[in-house]
Amino acid sequence: MTRGFEGADVKAGRLTSEQVAANFADLHPPLTRHEAAVAADRCYFCYDAPCMTACPTTIDIAMFIRQIAADNSDGAAKTIFDQNILGGMCARVCPTETLCEEACVREAAEGKPVEIGRLQRYATDHLMASNTHPYQRACNTGKKVAVVGAGPAGLACAHRLAMKGHAVTLFDARPKPGGLNEYGIAAYKTPGGFAREEVDFVLGIGNITLETGKALGRDISIDGLKWDYDAVFLAIGLAGVNALGVPGEDLPGVEDAVDFIADLRSSQDPSSLAVGRRVVVIGGGMTAIDAAVQTKLLGAEDVTIVYRRGQEAMNASLFEQDLAQTKGVKIRHWAKPVRVVAEDGRRGVECEYTRAGANGLEGTGETFFVAADVVLKAIGQTLEAPQGPETERGRLVVDDEFRTSVDRVWAGGDCVAAGDDLTVTAVAQGRDAAESIHRLLMA
């Protein structure tokens, strides 16, 4: 629960349960059968489809849309799952507007791409609703693999290895599997418990044993896993949170945005969560946008994102930035926090304007103050590095097959230096690491 500064206006129930439920309804409602057919009919079914090249998991997009157009939604889902077993989640949370849809020929010709993301959701939802798993396991190989981290990379790796016939044990430090899909994504993007449904779908391949509450370095170790298993895949994400490094950061009104989002995701009644009347979010990525928008949806009156660079440098896509502003979130660019204040009835963040200088970002010396009851930090996360594997700039170093510097240990997802911290990229890395592990185990 968000605490807020001493004497701040932080409380639950700013909106009724009905209002909050309406605010957190599905951001992109699913397509009907007719709508899917109409949307699919806009596709040119390009032979050398640029959208496929733009997809980190290289889904054959033209093929699955053609299958939808032919009223074969289950076949379309199989085409998607062949490359991305978490295709349902990626259809909901991927920045398709800067990936496949931006590369769409229709986007170049008309400024309106084929709705690839919504079509992908239509197909995957249809097959998952049938409660059938589209894959069968190969014969048991007798090999055992430990996968540490049940987020997107770990789930993708575990599924592909199980499909190949290997026995997989999937460890996760949290009480529920799913990683950021379960704990770190805005609730309005995946309402109705979809993250857990997708985990159950992935585990439906069988031969995957899930052990939650098992943290690397506390309950299990790389050396111990190597002793018990033939290979190890690390998908441990980024558990630490970067510090602001300014006076007042340790005040009780300063919270981590990832914790706020996790509390909201875990709540049975979001309207019961306390939220400040005035909220400042520090950062420019998806976590900052998700945190800011959700405080607004919970009833916060004045929400401001403070970001140190310009709009074009924000990690959050333009669509997400526009979404935040349509919800009433203000975004202050070219500013950085220099002090958090909670004294003499004055609560909030003192900020300094910034500019691009000859030696990088620099302050201008001109300051302004943003009043706040709560400050949420969303300035990136850090790796709690395990002993053994080589690291570089705070991430695990891997080769082009996602092998670490430790023999028989692979890694993928947000914890590695490669990639761009997207769900779809993590899935691709977990899948490709599984193929590498399989080749070694069967050599």
> If you average pLDDT over every residue of the chain, what do you get?
94
- What does pTM read for this prediction? 0.94
pLDDT digits (tens, 9 = 90+) for 90-129: 999 999 999 999 999 999 899 999 999 999 999 999 999 9
The pLDDT confidence band at residue 420, using thresholds 50, 70 and 90, is: confident
Pairing of strands 346-357, 335-343: antiparallel
pLDDT of residue 240: 79
User: Beta-strand (E) ranges in 286-373?
Assistant: 302-306, 330-332, 335-343, 346-357, 360-371
pLDDT at 333 exceeding the cut of 70: yes
CATH label, 33-129, candidates 3.40.47.10, 3.40.50.10490, 1.10.1060.10, 2.60.40.1530? 1.10.1060.10
Identical fold, 33-129 and 144-239+383-441: no
The arithmetic mean of pLDDT across residues 173-184, rounded, is: 94
Residue 402, CA atoms < 13 Å, CB-side half-sphere: 32
Separation CA 135–CA 153 (nearest Å):
19
pLDDT of residue 321: 95
| DSSP letter, residue 202 | H
Fold of 144-239+383-441: FAD/NAD(P)-binding domain (3.50.50)
Please name the CATH architecture into which domain 10-25+241-377 falls. Answer: 3-Layer(bba) Sandwich (3.50)
Q: Cα–Cα distances in Å, from 376 out to 286, 288, 331, 335, 343?
A: 13, 8, 14, 16, 18
pLDDT digits (tens, 9 = 90+) for 274-311: 999 999 999 999 999 999 999 999 999 999 999 999 99
pLDDT of residue 191: 85
* Owner of token pair 């490709």: 432
The pLDDT confidence band at residue 418, using thresholds 50, 70 and 90, is: confident
| DSSP letter, residue 32 | P
pLDDT digits (tens, 9 = 90+) for 44-97: 999 899 999 999 999 999 999 999 999 999 999 999 999 999 999 999 999 999
pLDDT of residue 89: 96
| Domain residue ranges in the chain | 10-25+241-377, 33-129, 144-239+383-441
Say what the alpha-carbon torsion angle 83, 86, 89, 91 is, to the nearest 10 degrees. Answer: 10
Sequence length of the chain is 443
CB atoms within 10 A of CB 114: 23
* Candidate ranges 183-187, 267-271, 406-410; pick with highest mean pLDDT: 406-410
The CA-based diameter of the chain, rounded to the nearest angstrom, is: 70
